[in-house]
Amino acid sequence: MPLSAYDDLTTFKIYLSDIGLLRKLAKLPSEAVLLNNNLFIEFKDALTENFVLQSLVNQFEVKPRYWVSQGKAEVDFILQNGVDIIPIEVKSAANTASKSLAEYDKEYSPQIRLRYSLNNFKKDGNLLNIPIFFADWTKKILGHIQVKIA
């Protein structure tokens, strides 16, 4: 800590500040978002990650980073919330298998891990699943969870 001390300026990800702009720049027809089209699945993940990131940036003082483990795993976001470092995985569907989040948990044993998905709220050990549409409430949810943990 702080996360900024571990920034690697030779690698980075690029996100847009608005998923509507991302969709438009990618020339993705708006109806593709509503259809269950197998060709859209890969870009759906990018849109969902971008959506969650927009929400996190507006709630927390420290901008989220991402984490990569020597080619084994990649966690979508790492968030510093006070003295807590929180790994975050974003899933655009109900399938929530996440080798990367488990890999991070093995290496660092964080007090809490977050996963955004289409599933309902669920706490399983140190893993909290938050429905994607509640991303704007993350800071309040974490405040409530921290009180229960302490």
What pLDDT, on a 0 to 100 scale, did the predictor assign at position 146? 61
Mean pLDDT of all residues in 67-73: 80
Mean pLDDT of all residues in 73-102: 86
Assess whether pLDDT exceeds 50 at residue 24.
yes
Mean pLDDT of all residues in 45-54: 88
Percentage of the chain surpassing pLDDT 70?
85
Assess whether pLDDT exceeds 60 at residue 148.
no
Mean pLDDT of all residues in 4-32: 75
pTM: 0.84
What pLDDT, on a 0 to 100 scale, did the predictor assign at position 121? 93
Q: Report the chain's mean pLDDT, rounded to a whole number.
A: 83
Domain with 22 in it: 13-149
| 3 assigned to some structural domain | no
Distance in angstroms (rounded) separating the CA atoms of residues 145 and 150: 9
Assess whether pLDDT exceeds 50 at residue 150.
no
What pLDDT, on a 0 to 100 scale, did the predictor assign at position 100? 87
Cβ proximity of 140 and 81 under 8 Å: no
| 69 assigned to some structural domain | yes
| 8 assigned to some structural domain | no
Mean pLDDT of all residues in 90-100: 82
| 17 assigned to some structural domain | yes
What pLDDT, on a 0 to 100 scale, did the predictor assign at position 37? 66
HEC string of the chain equals CCHHHHCCCCCCCCCCCCHHHHHHHCCCCHHHHHCCCHHHHHHHHHHHHHHHHHHHHHHCCCCCEEEEECCCEEEEEEEEECCEEEEEEECCCCCCCCHHHHHHHHHHCCCCEEEEECCCCEEECCEEEEEHHHHHHHHHHHHHHHHHHC
| 1 assigned to some structural domain | no
| 81 assigned to some structural domain | yes
* Number of structural domains the chain divides into: 1
| 4 assigned to some structural domain | no
pLDDT digits (tens, 9 = 90+) for 114-144: 999 999 999 988 999 999 999 999 999 988 8
| 23 assigned to some structural domain | yes
